């Protein structure tokens, strides 16, 4: 190709390249200048939900141990040979029922002798009382006879008491336990005969954390489940509580009362204990509405179509909802979806997130 043609072709290509570059640069500049305007002119759509208030209900759980309303360990008053065991394990006995008898032959004889002595002393006293008016007996003899009668009556009472000590009686209505004592055994005052429990009412003892000690009072309701019957929830009441906090466990010892008319719960049974404490009202929002940063938790509130960032304190989570503490009023519109593109003071469009009120905490 001639040199002149090569120069001409090179010139044409250079002009075309420069023109294309200028056209591309102008288009890019136009796109840059138009971009912020389009972005600024767009309005962000967010989904909001009104704030509602709910009472902060704290559920406290503990493990307790049951005990009978009345319990007794039965021992004989004196030593002796067992002649009768008048009960069986798990038998319901009435107050005053004879449970065990010791050999009482000598005590019965002593009662009879004391009764005879009292009868003879009384006869002598009556004879002297008849002689006093005629002067056949002195007043001092009469007084001596009266003293003798009183002494004889006391000896008879002692003999009867010794006889009664040979029998073990039920001190109250209840269910009696196992015994290792059999007829023919020799027992002493330190020999355990059996235990007796009034299981018509069960007292459940448990420890309540120190922070709730000032919220509990006698008569408060409590829910209980025995580990032997987890499918059965029982309702009880607080019967009593200790007068001081345990400095080691930092807890308060409490006893709850639950009726058990069928006597199916045995003393010593462990219980799940649940108490509900109601506190103050707090704003209630959905968990997804709460944002976290190094400055703390916050939510976005929409006021007059503008976004506001409100810092809050988390009180408690519960099933997808959060109780929060902050400067929020009932009915304030809180952003639930669309929080990523928000900034303080930005104008937004709103639409409801759901219809209806969120479920307050029960």
What is the C-alpha to C-alpha distance for residues 56 and 51, in angstroms, rounded to an integer? 15
Residue 29 binned pLDDT confidence (cut-offs 50, 70, 90): very low
Q: Which CATH number fits domain 104-165: 1.10.287.470, 2.60.40.60, 3.30.540.10, 3.30.390.50?
A: 1.10.287.470
DSSP 50-88: E-EEEEEEEEEEEEEEEEEEEEEEE--SS-EEEEEE---
Token readout for 173 is 């209505």
pLDDT at 40: 45
- Range in 172-176, 314-318, 323-327 with the lowest mean pLDDT: 314-318
pLDDT, tens digit, for every residue of 164-176? 999 999 999 999 9
Burial 80-93 (b: 16+ CB within 10 A, else e): bebeebebeeeeeb
Cα–Cα distances (Å) from 48 to 43, 299, 347, 352, in that order, read 15, 11, 14, 5
| Cα-only R_g, the chain | 46
Residue 246, token pair as written in the block: 């345990």
80: left (phi over 0), alpha (psi -120 to 50) or beta: left
- How much of the chain exceeds pLDDT 90, in percent? 52
Q: Which of 21-30, 124-133, 333-342 has the lowest mean pLDDT?
A: 21-30
Helices 105-131 and 139-164 cross at an angle (nearest 10°) of 160
Is the pLDDT at 31 greater than 50? The verdict is no
Predicted confidence band at 10 (pLDDT cuts at 50, 70, 90)?
low
Residue 17 has pLDDT above 90, yes or no: no
Question: Domain spanning 44-58+280-352 has what CATH number?
Answer: 2.40.420.20
Give the mean pLDDT of 220-241: 91
pLDDT at 124: 87
Q: Are 277 and 214 in contact (CB under 8 A)?
A: no
pLDDT at 12: 55
In this prediction, residue 65 carries a pLDDT of: 95
Report the CATH number of the 199-277 domain: 2.40.30.170
Whole-number pLDDT of residue 305: 87
Residue 261: what pLDDT? 84
Q: Where in the chain is the domain with CATH 2.40.420.20?
A: 44-58+280-352
Question: Which tops the pLDDT comparison, 20 or 189?
Answer: 189
Distance CA 240, CA 234 (A): 18
Q: For residue 59, which phi and psi values (nearest 5 degrees)?
A: -100, 120
CATH 2.40.30.170 in the chain: give the residue spans: 199-277
- Bridge partner residues of 246 (DSSP): 251
pLDDT more than 70, % of the chain = 85
Averaged pLDDT score across all residues of the chain: 85
Residue pLDDT, tens place only, 247-286: 999 999 999 999 988 888 899 999 999 998 887 888 999 9
- pTM comes to 0.63
Phi-psi region of 282 (alpha: psi -120 to 50; beta: other; left: phi over 0): beta
The β-bridge relationship of strands 348-352 and 44-50 is parallel
Q: Looking at the chain, which residues constitute the CATH 1.10.287.470 domain(s)?
A: 104-165
pLDDT of residue 39: 44
Instruction: Please tell me the predicted confidence (pLDDT) of residue 14.
Output: 59
Residue 258's pLDDT is: 94
Q: What is the pLDDT of residue 8?
A: 56
Query: Could you give the CA distance from residue 347 to residue 302 in angstroms, rounded to a whole number?
Result: 9
Contact present, 49 and 336 (Cβ < 8 Å): yes
Confidence check: pLDDT of 128 > 70: yes
Per-residue pLDDT reduced to its tens digit, 146-165: 899 999 999 999 999 999 99
pLDDT digits 0-9 by tens, 44-87 = 788 989 998 888 888 899 999 999 999 999 999 999 999 999 99
Above 60 in pLDDT, residue 351? yes
pLDDT (tens digit per residue) in 91-112: 999 999 999 999 999 999 999 9
């Amino acid at each position: 190709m001639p040199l002149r043609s090569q120069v001409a072709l090179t010139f044409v290509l250079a002009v075309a390249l420069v023109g294309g570059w200028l056209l591309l640069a102008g288009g890019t500049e136009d796109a840059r200048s138009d971009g912020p305007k389009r972005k600024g002119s767009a309005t962000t759509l967010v989904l909001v939900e009104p704030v509602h208030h709910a009472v902060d209900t704290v559920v406290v759980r503990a493990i307790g141990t049951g005990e009978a309303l009345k319990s007794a360990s039965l021992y004989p008053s004196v030593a002796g040979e067992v002649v009768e065991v008048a009960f069986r394990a798990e038998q319901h006995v009435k107050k005053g029922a004879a449970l065990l008898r010791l050999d009482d032959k000598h005590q019965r004889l002593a009662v009879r002798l004391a009764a005879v002595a009292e009868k003879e002393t009384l006869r002598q006293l009556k004879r002297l009382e008849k002689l006093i008016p005629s002067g056949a007996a002195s007043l001092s003899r009469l007084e001596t006879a009266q003293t003798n009668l009183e002494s004889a009556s006391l000896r008879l009472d002692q003999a009867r008491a010794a006889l009664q000590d040979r029998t073990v009686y039920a001190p109250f209505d209840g269910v009696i336990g196992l015994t290792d004592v059999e007829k023919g055994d020799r027992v002493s005052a330190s020999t355990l005969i059996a235990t007796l429990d009034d299981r018509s009412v069960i007292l459940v003892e448990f420890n309540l954390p120190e922070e709730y000690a000032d919220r509990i009072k006698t008569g408060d309701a409590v829910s209980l489940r025995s580990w032997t019957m987890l499918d059965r929830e029982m309702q009880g009441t607080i019967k009593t509580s200790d007068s001081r906090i345990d400095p080691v466990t930092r807890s308060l010892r409490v006893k709850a009362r639950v009726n058990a008319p069928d006597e199916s719960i045995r003393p010593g049974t462990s219980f799940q204990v649940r108490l509900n404490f109601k506190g103050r009202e707090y704003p209630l929002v959905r968990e997804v509405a709460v944002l976290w940063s190094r400055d703390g938790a916050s939510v976005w509130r929409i006021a007059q179509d503008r976004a506001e960032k409100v810092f809050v304190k988390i009180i408690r989570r519960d099933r997808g909802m959060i109780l929060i503490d902050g400067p929020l009023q009932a009915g304030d519109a809180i952003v639930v979806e669309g929080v990523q593109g928000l900034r303080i003071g930005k104008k937004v469009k709103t639409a409801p997130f759901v219809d209806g009120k969120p479920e307050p905490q029960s």
